[in-house]
Amino acid sequence: MLVSVKVGIPRALFYYYLFPLWKAFFEYLGAQVVVSPPTNKEILNMGVRESVDEACLPVKIYYGHVMYIKDKVDLLFLPRLVSIEKKAYICPKFMGLPDMIRSNLTGLPPVINVDVNAVKGQRAYKKAFFEMGSHFSSSFRKINRAWNEAFKLQSRFEELLVSGYFPLEAIGILESGHKGEKDKHDAAHEIAVLGHGYTIYDNFLSLNTIKHLKEMGAKINTVENLPLNIIERTAAKLPKRMFWTMGKRILGAALYYLERSQIDGIVYVTVFGCGPDSMIADLTERYARRRGMPFILITLDEHSGEAGVITRLEAFMDMLAWSGKNENHFSSHGKLVDIC
């Protein structure tokens, strides 16, 4: 192949979970991977214009990224992520996303569209990758090697996450090859920031929630910072098995942080209209309340003014500080926090 094929990957949704795997896989097969830029106002506006009103913000932003990248690539990577593990789905919208995009957007380049459905077993997951690979190579061995290489890189990515990095930092480390300075300021409080990865790690979407919390003196733990086996073990204690992968991980992490680790509060970041979160956030809040753990729910939408979020986060952090210093029966929920 003289000129390598340009494969476009939208920087949204599962980019924050699986990008190293996808990138390494395509690059090993000789493709050039093109990623849309970090979400910005233009991308958001394009997404909001093209998608249905009721879709959640991450899906709208995904539309925007697809719009941005579609004319700049030869092939668009648009998988149908039904399930990435046994007996658990991701979200109904993910299952219909390729059909939604195809219905709503015109002028799409050729699309790599495979169904990734590991609900009945992990083998289907690998099979989906072989189907993707067949766009680039007819050699089974080559695709197999690409899969192995990609999987290795993904494992390193996940190790980095567990050692305390966030996905964007970890992707940066994998690309540049050296670890940056980990910001080691003294943290007054340890906080768990929970939510779907594509919500909390997209700085534009989350209105820099993580950055603001750090500036307010918080050390931040997320779902991705916990090893998967610990999360699975804690999530297995739920009275009914949770059938959304992300939901299960968030609940597992929440229970872990509530039970064992020394955190001072939970910040749950969700988006308007997120189906799974409407239940998981509520369950997390209930579990947190029963243990007297401070909890705040931040719901985001297209509104892009940061001040409101900052005010609420400040109030939350102040409350944590005061409850440590002044009195130990300071209300951690209900009137004081919920109303603002």
Partner 1 sequence: MKITFPHMGNLWISAKALLEGLNLEVVVPPPCTKKTLSLGVLHAPEFICLPLKINLGNYIEAAEKGADTIIIAGGRGPCRFGYYCRLEKEIMDDLGYNYEMIVLEPPEKSFFEVIQDIRAIAKCSMLQIMNAVRTAWLKCCVVDEIERKVQMIRARESCPGLADGIYKEALKDIDSAQRGKEIISIKRRAFEALNEVPVDPKREIVRIALVGEIYTILEPFANQNIEKHLGKLGAEVKRSLYLSSWVNDHLLGGVLPLESTKEACRLAAPYLNYFVGGHGRETVGSAVKFSREGFDGIIQIAPLTCGPEIVAEAILPEIYLSEGVPVMTIYMDEQTGEAGLITRLEAFVDMTRRIKFSEKDSDLLILRG
Q: How far apart are CA 200 and CA 81, in angstroms?
A: 20
CB of residue 300 to partner 1, shortest distance in Å: 12
Least distance in Å: CB of 275 to partner 1? 4
Q: Which residues pair with 299 in a beta bridge?
A: 270
Nearer to partner 1, 265 or 276 (CB): 276
Nearer to partner 1, 163 or 278 (CB): 278
Cα–Cα distance list, 187 to 217, 218, 290, 292, 309 (Å): 5, 5, 26, 22, 20
| Closest separation in Å from C-beta 302 to partner 1 | 15
**Closest approach of Cβ 79 to partner 1, in Å?**
12
Dihedral in degrees, nearest 10, Cα atoms 274, 277, 282, 287: -170
Judged by beta carbon, residue 242 or residue 253, the one nearer partner 1 is 242
CA distance 311 to 303: 15
Nearer to partner 1, 153 or 281 (CB): 281
What are φ and ψ of residue 80, in 5° steps?
-100, 100
Cβ proximity to partner 1, 20 vs 64, nearer residue: 64
C-alpha to C-alpha distance for 45 and 65, rounded to whole angstroms: 10
Which residues in this chain contact partner 1 in the complex, by CB under 8 A? Answer: 51-52, 54-55, 80, 82, 87-93, 95-100, 103-104, 115, 238-240, 242-244, 272-279, 281-283, 286, 299
What is the smallest separation between the CB atom of 325 and partner 1, expressed in angstroms? 30
Q: Mutual orientation of helices 92-104 and 57-69 as an angle, nearest 10°?
A: 40
